[in-house]
Structure 1
């Protein structure tokens, strides 16, 4: 009986995904070989692939193979992990061998010159140990122990630099800060583990890490020429455009990827986010329904549906239902928690919004967005001290992010620190111009208006007018901007222009109390009323200040990105 030929047939059926046939022959080979360890191992593999997890674990553990061979220990633990028995899986992985057994095995190996049995099973010791660390990380993740999960993923990567799954889990789940990512990359012994592909690995890892960098044409080393069209590389470039607020270019790139691979896992979250930013509701509706039909157990499908209902407005209850389903399928799915927070934030449910954002912050240690949104919520509840603290944390993670700079400026404005506010607003504006040459995204309209407000406070009236006019280019029909321009004209004594702008503001928003009040006083001044309402400076009477309280708390106060 040629057992080697039957063993090859088992592997052949595994390669052809005929798992039942492979299981049948693996069972017979194990009996014919009188239960040789490698045949029991392949029998357990077949049982695992046919989702018979407890049978597979029993086949290994009843013969004590999990205590003798690393590969068997890993497979037994993986069976319990697949059956969602996380603590049992962890117990198997953390099981220590008796010291006398290890010394005895070392003696036998030295005496006989035997090599490690796992090498005979087409696996090296380093790859098995890396797989064990990766699985341990996943188990800790499932047990909500992010610190130990992060450590385990790092160890997996150090043992096997090709273990991209560990690297992807660390980066895509935002488990590391930018500095920690850089330190991890420098600590990997790429030259030692993979001399030939060192340049390739370094390029792929660095390309994945630079999501906050300014997008540029992908420069490839000569040794990896041809990767510029690789979809993962294109998605990384699209992600950089997304984080730099160039949503049109991001959409262009993600659309190319989606055309070639309609369900590209890494591209889908970026593409969905871009559809939301560009308000492409119909396209998102079609995509989300297609995803739910094809991948109902994937959290990104329900995330897409939740984002659609958030985008169309007045459907926040529906959005929460679907986003909650996404977090149930994968409780560590950070983007769904952030969107879940948004669904409460738009209804001014600050406590519930912050609870969701705090969950996202715990899951996405290396992402600044949850901190930014927590700060926004504290700002909206007039808790500027806590808002400042969280904006500071967001700034430490993403020091180049103009959204964060803007919000730090808003807090400074609210504290009456006009010079500090101006500095932060101007820094944010410089970053935006560096990213996209010109400010053309309507998201930046609040920043331009806020620059106008702070310049008015500093009595730089000409500059203030210029910023408000730039804001009008981005959003032409904003009543608050027209009333702010009218207010500056009134401070400059240009009452005729002020009257025109207040009229325009009232045409856009009839219930604008500030514009009504100011229009009346400007008309009085224009026709030469002896009682001066507006003095040479911005000194206002107590009655005026009371009348303007609504305006100072809305139109002239810095706008946030809620």
Structure 2
């Protein structure tokens, strides 16, 4: 029959399927047997190289299988959650820890879960997770197990927990509790740089408080004397520098080329107003390490001071392209617009910078400056007040508030804020200078002189420290107060120093001319007034003083003392031969008889003229 081949084919297919099923059954049995023989420690070691090469997706794939094979081994669960955290999958990591109750079994698990909520900006939940953690030893509710392969609960981990709590409090704008947690974190682990850096960079401590903290830190936690010396040196380099000019030196030669040490040196040069030297150092750092985050703020500030618009424009664009979510990028953009006097866009970008980082002090200060340069004193003070609340350890907002009050002729409030700024930074020469200005305005000249000289003595005795035109007002003000105290020679000396810093300043020439006039040196006074008017022709004070000094100069000094001021008189008998010479004049007898020359008596007309001149001279 014709259907027989078809039946044979169907029988062959059925036989083949039966054989395949039998083979699959054997294969599954073998696979199950092989999985049971997998060496889990070797499997864990296999995953580590992927983490080291930042192949997180591959590591996650195998960690997922490892957790299943090990039936939820705690160390496998922990490192699986840790890898999820590193890959930015915070919610998955938190749920994984909850599912295996690892957050209840060990401090490391709870700490990791809290970090996941912190990174998700769920600050209250993160704080609740850590709320029961005893800040001195261990958690109260957690039975802390020492699980192999998981970081154990020790002083370092407890310090990390306190550091996380401090960050959470700071994000919730509870700076007082944040400050307390940062300090406790450092006491447990003096090497916790992040806690120390946040205390300093977020302006939580004043300069005296920073020194007190350094004395309280237990550097004996370091392994040996060399590590203690190194830690102290590096921390000391991070302390506030703008409160007192200091000598720029390096104590550890082996760290001469370290970027953090070089940044510290550049900051000191900047606060000493040596902007060119600062710019050289920061440029060298950024050439080797482009976009170094600790170097960028002082580098941008030096670009603004040196008015390098092209370099700042290029840097701002590169930062925005590479780091659009960083506050330093928009600060650079705002600084560029501030430098080219476009203050409205400058404020817009500076505001964005402060939104990304509420405690980024350079952006806050420049935001206030953008109002100040437009004489918008109320808005400038509002910006500085906001900055002062976020920068409680920094005196600069208080100093600028005082300056704005001074510009509005409110010297009492200005003096109040200067005094508050001095409490935070007692050795800052800028604060001392402004206090002296208030004393000068109150006619307390001796007190003003003491403050001015105190500010001057704060500078480093190096040739570079006083070459910046930033100190020109200090020398001019010293000249003014010396003039008020009748110390004319000192006044002249200080004004000349000011001219070396800012040569083409008309007001300095006017002040110098005024001092010369009071000291009786009218010639030098006139020269200075002329130089001032050559720079600023419409200066009313200088013009008035020049006229007065010239009049005094005319009355006191005769131009040609060997000659008399009276007009000379010559008789006709003397003048005729002089002008006629040897030429002969023929006079008729009738003419000669009509001319009468009397040498003993002046003609009437000449007498009248002479009398009038004498009267005029007496009037003069």
TM-score per shorter chain, which class? 0.7 to 0.9
Distance 2:505 2:329 in 1: 36
Between structure 1 and structure 2, the one with the greater Rg is 2
Residue of structure 1 aligned with 2:497, choices 470, 490, 493:
470
Comparing 1-10 with 405-414, greater Cα deviation is found at 1-10
Q: Please say if residues 245 and 460 of structure 2, whose CA atoms lie closer than 8 Å, have aligned partners that are also in contact.
A: no
Question: Paired residue for 2:387, among 360, 364, 382?
Answer: 360
Quote the residue 2:317 is aligned against.
289
Instruction: Name the Cα RMSD after superposition.
Output: 2.3
CA deviation string 1:234-266 (max 9, x = no partner): 111222222222223222222221221121111
2:150 to 121, 135, 142: 121
1:256-295 CA distance string (max 9 Å, x none): 2122112111111111112222222222222222211111
Distance (Å, rounded) in 2 between the aligned partners of 1:293 and 1:105 = 46
Cα 1:482/1:103, change in 2 over 3 Å: closer
Q: Tell me which residue corresponds to 1:303.
A: 331
Q: Is the 8 A contact 2:429 2:455 kept in 1?
A: yes
Matched residue of 2:461: which SS?
helix
Q: Identify which of 226, 232, 239 aligns with 1:202.
A: 232
Once the two structures are TM-superposed, the CA of residue 180 in structure 1 deviates from its matched residue by 2.1
| 1:445 Cα deviation from its structure 2 partner | 0.8
User: Is residue 134 from structure 1 mapped to residue 171 from structure 2 by the alignment?
Assistant: no
TM-score by length of 2: 0.78
The equivalent of 2:422 in structure 1 is 395
Distance across 1 between alignment mates of 2:302 and 2:487? 37
Unaligned runs of 5+ in 1: 110-114, 530-562
The 8 Å contact of residues 10 and 26 in structure 1, kept in 2 or not, is answered as yes
**Contact 1:244–1:435 under 8 Å retained in 2:** no
Does residue 184 in structure 1 map to residue 221 in structure 2? no
Alpha carbons of structure 1 residues 511 and 234: separation in structure 2 relative to 1, 3 Å: same
Counterpart in 2 of 1:533?
none
Say which is worse superposed, 295-304 or 429-438, in terms of deviation.
429-438
Distance in 2 (alpha carbons) for counterparts of 1:476 and 1:188: 49
Contact map agreement 2:107 2:153 (CA 8 A) in 1:
no
Name the SS for the 2:504 alignment partner: coil
Are the equivalent residues in 2 in contact too, given 1:177–1:367 (CA < 8 A)? Answer: yes
Structure 2: where are the runs of 5+ without partners? 1-37, 557-620
Which residue of structure 2 aligns with residue 385 of structure 1?
Answer: 412
TM-score normalised over the length of structure 1: 0.86
Residues 105 and 77 of structure 1: CA distance in aligned 2, closer, same or farther (over 3 Å): closer
Give the secondary structure class of the aligned counterpart of 2:162: helix
- Pick the aligned partner of 2:457 from 400, 418, 430: 430
Is 2:63 the partner of 1:26? Answer: yes
2:178 maps to 1:149: yes
Paired residues of 2:479 and 2:493 also in contact (CA < 8 A): yes
Q: 1:182 to 1:496 in 2, by over 3 A?
A: closer
In structure 1, C-alpha distance between the alignment counterparts of 2:331 and 2:465, rounded to whole Å: 32
- The residue that corresponds to 1:94 in the other structure is 131
- Contact 2:504-2:535 at 8 Å conserved across structures: yes
SS at match of 2:256: helix
Count of aligned residue pairs for this structure pair: 513
Matched, 1:36 2:53: no
Deviation of the 1:104 alpha carbon? 10
Alpha-carbon offset, residue 399 of structure 1: 2.4
Provide the C-alpha distance between the structure 2 equivalents of 1:247 and 1:179, rounded to a whole number of angstroms: 26
Q: How far apart are 1:436 and its partner, in Å?
A: 4.6
